[in-house]
Amino acid sequence: MNSKRLFVTKDDTFTLRVFYTKDGTLKVSKEADVPEKEKENWEKFEVEFVLPDFGTAKGIMRASIENDKVNIGQFNNALLCSLARKWNLLDEEQKEIPLDLPKLNELRPDITRMFVELLQEKLSKEGLYDAILFS
């Protein structure tokens, strides 16, 4: 048996993206919901995530338990904060904005909610979402 797929490494990453526009009111959308001919008018916000290993899954659950129950808000926050590795955001001087917990917490809730939804979809397809919940 090839054991490579049994272990998670720092190279087991995937990128999720949302589109946003600043024309008028800021709008945020999943990539699939933006018509192909309109994509040039939108900007891409990409975040690279790493697949969770067992230790990370346990940490996500530890951060999510409140009064012996899973707090879904804390779970989503822990999921996002634990698995996000880098993003494509630049400041006004075109310098990379480092991805860290304070910057993640400064993001608009509609943007983080969209990334959480995409992350849940991806992890479910990999068979890992339920595995985290029951780790």
Q: 90-118, pLDDT tens digit by residue?
A: 999 999 999 998 999 999 999 999 999 99
Over range 6-19, report the average pLDDT. 92
Helices (H) and strands (E) in the chain, counts: 5, 6
Mean pLDDT across the stretch 19-29? Answer: 79
Q: What is the pLDDT of residue 66?
A: 92
Exposed/middle/buried for residue 135 (C-beta within 10 Å: 0-12, 13-18, 19+): middle
Query: What residue ranges do the domains of the chain occupy?
Result: 4-133
Ramachandran assignment for 10, one of left (phi > 0), alpha (psi -120 to 50 degrees), beta (any other) = alpha
pLDDT in tens, 42-88: 889 999 999 999 999 999 999 999 999 999 999 999 999 999 999 99
Q: At residue 119, does pLDDT exceed 90?
A: yes
**Which has more pLDDT, 21 or 105?**
105
Question: Given pLDDT bands bounded at 50, 70 and 90, which one contains residue 3?
Answer: low
The amino acid at 12: D
pLDDT of 38 over the 80 cut: yes
Q: Pick the more confident residue, 84 or 27.
A: 84
User: What is the structure's pLDDT at 1?
Assistant: 47
Band (pLDDT 50/70/90 cuts) for residue 135 is: confident
Give the DSSP letter of residue 126: T
82 or 5, which is more confident: 82
Instruction: Please list, residue by residue across 40-68, b when 16 or more beta carbons sit within 10 angstroms of its beta carbon and e when fewer do.
Output: eebeebebebbbbeeebbebbbebbeeee
